[in-house]
Amino acid sequence: MAKEFDVCVIGSGPGGYVAAIRASQLGLKTAIVEKRDLGGVCLNIGCIPTKALLKSAQVAEYFQHAGDYGFDAGEVKPDFPKIIKRSRNAATKMSKGVQFLMKTNKIEVIRGKGVFDSKNELKIVDDKDKETGRIKAKHFIVATGARARELPNLKFDGKTIIDYERAMKLEKQPKRMLIVGAGAIGIEFAYFYHAIGTEVTVVEMQKNILPVEDAEVSKELEKLYRKKGMNILTESTVENVSKKGQKLEVTVKTKKGEEKIETDVVLSAVGVVGNVEGLGLEDIGVKVEKGAIQVDRKTYKTSVDGIYAIGDVAGAPWLAHKASHEALRCIERIAGEDPKPIDYQNIPGCTYCQPQVASVGMTEDQAKEAGYKVKVGKFPFQANGKAVGAGQTDGFVKVIFDEKYGEWLGCHMIGADVTDMITEAVVARDLETTGHEIISAVHPHPTLSETVMEAVAEAYGEGVHLGTPPKKK
């Protein structure tokens, strides 16, 4: 006999568990179905454990530059298993936190994989496809997330050709690693492994690393990483990977011709694809295109009444915070409320390497291509007192405004802690704040946040800390 609920959420990542909690808060009888650990990719094999790894990398860099801060630390070597263990402990702690939230909010957790038998009924099966139960619900929310995209010539074997999940659980630190793809995932792992002593090569088919970012930001990060000794090959593709004894020989097609590179392991980080298979979606008429469930971006309804989809499985941008906000909007509409729709042009993107990269809105090139006449302001961290005192002066803040109406079109940052700073631009854009309102808002001194105000002042010819000649009015 099937258990009955008002809402059943399939998947417990940042979209799924948030949806379940909000549903319960609004008085809906709620269940959540999960075949792995609560918290999904983000908490278990994504956002959280990778940030723990990246913190270890940052600490390694602190030791490497201890002399700059007045300390003689001597030789410090990474203990790779301990670094990995710390990362896994962070993931476990967060997953237990979600378990606590499920219990506190009286959400029934059902273990197994959900497969639609009809639009009103879900079959639960174990890892051997044996049915263990059934669920009926008025509303089903699919929040099954995404997984690493696998290229035809780079099939994952878990040992020499790996995905991001395996990269954060390796038993032994590789001496050499070749990373295919220089998006956020690829660059974060490139930074981590390079910082702890692995020889890293990055292969990116686009013109710049972090190709979705503003070109100036991407070029700045590439310059800094080349200076640190990272091998970066842009406008390049991996043509073949072959075994050469205990090592791999990777054939890379570059701008200058073919190059063969020896490595211990290849990490393929060329994006993700939604987990849409095996759920019975097509059988009940849910429309799926290119690995993503098609939804109305205001209600998150699929092509079938009563079935909704949120987060990575519903397509780009593949970000945890986007999934959580879609979860809230979806549930609130199910409950009869009328929440403000998400502005998908105002979702920030963050890359947690060092220096960090954060952005929201249009790049300068995108703004110009859209026909805007722009005002652009930049302020470097080397002119910021807090950054100088901290010894972290790499990078800058760049802002883009529409000259005609003063709309804040975009904000792009590279530097220490900018993933925390980008929120000012997100909130300001949401409130339609003008540049002059940012300039007139008192920013505390000395802080890194002053660079935002300074960049805006530069855009309007009112900067006082760069020696920029005043603009004629």
Q: Would you give the end-to-end CA distance of the chain in angstroms?
A: 77
* Rounded CA separation 198/105 (Å): 45
Q: What is the 3-state secondary structure (H, E, C) of the chain?
A: CCEEEEEEEECCCCCHHHHHHHHHHCCCCEEEEECCCCCHHHHHHCHHHHHHHHHHHHHHHHHHCHHHHCCCCCCCCCCHHHHHHHHHHHHHHHHHHHHHHHHHCCCEEEECEEEEEECCEEEEECCCCCEEEEEEEEEEEECCCEEECCECCECCCCCCEECHHHHCCCCCCCCEEEEECCCHHHHHHHHHHHHCCCEEEEECCCCCCCCCCCHHHHHHHHHHHHHCCCEEECCCEEEEEEEECCEEEEEEEECCEEEEEEECEEEECCCEEECCCCCCCHHHCCCEECCEECCCCCCCECCCCCEEECHHHHCCCCCHHHHHHHHHHHHHHHCCCCCCCCCHHHCCEEECCCCEEEEEECCHHHHHHCCCCEEEEEEEHHHCHHHHHHCCCCCEEEEEEECCCCCEEEEEEEECCHHHHCHHHHHHHHCCCCHHHHHHCCCCCCCCCHHHHHHHHHHCCCCCCCCCCCCCC
Q: Is 97 annotated as a binding residue?
A: no
Tokens of 107: 């959400």
Q: Is 400 annotated as a binding residue?
A: no
Q: Is 40 annotated as a binding residue?
A: no
Closest CA to 57 of 207, 211, 230, 268: 230
Closest CA to 418 of 257, 219, 261, 217: 217
Q: Is 310 annotated as a binding residue?
A: no
* Rounded CA separation 441/378 (Å): 18
Q: Is 274 annotated as a binding residue?
A: no
Q: Is 183 annotated as a binding residue?
A: yes
Q: Is 184 annotated as a binding residue?
A: yes
Q: Is 74 annotated as a binding residue?
A: no
Query: Do residues 6 and 137 touch, judged by C-beta distance below 8 A?
Result: yes
Q: Is 471 annotated as a binding residue?
A: no
Active-site choice (139, 194, 445, 465)? 445
Q: Is 114 annotated as a binding residue?
A: yes
Instruction: Respond yes or no: is residue 445 known to be catalytic.
Output: yes
Q: Is 112 annotated as a binding residue?
A: no
Alpha carbon 102 to its chain's center: 25
Q: Which residues are known to be catalytic? A: 445
Cite the annotated binding site by residue number.
51, 114, 181-188, 204, 271, 312
Cite the annotated binding site for NAD(+) by residue number.
181-188, 204, 271
Cite the annotated binding site for FAD by residue number.
51, 114, 312
